């Protein structure tokens, strides 16, 4: 559901389309890294 809000926020600034897309890509990648590290920590504990 957060992806939908990021996409709608991305279409809002029409002047900075590429910068908004790159910022959303960075936020998405950081989120993926956090989720992967969280899953790896859970697997490592067991």
pLDDT in tens, 1-46: 455 554 544 455 455 678 888 899 999 999 999 999 999 999 986 5
Range of 25's domain?
A: 2-45
Q: How many helices (H) and strands (E) does the chain have?
A: 2, 0
Give the CA-trace dihedral at 41, 42, 44, 45, to 10 degrees: 120
Domain count along the chain: 1
pTM of the model: 0.53
């Amino acid at each position: 559901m957060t992806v939908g809000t990021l996409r709608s926020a991305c279409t809002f600034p029409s002047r900075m389309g590429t910068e908004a897309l790159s910022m959303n890509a960075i936020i998405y990648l950081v989120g993926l890294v956090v989720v992967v590290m969280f899953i790896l920590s859970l697997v490592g504990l067991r």
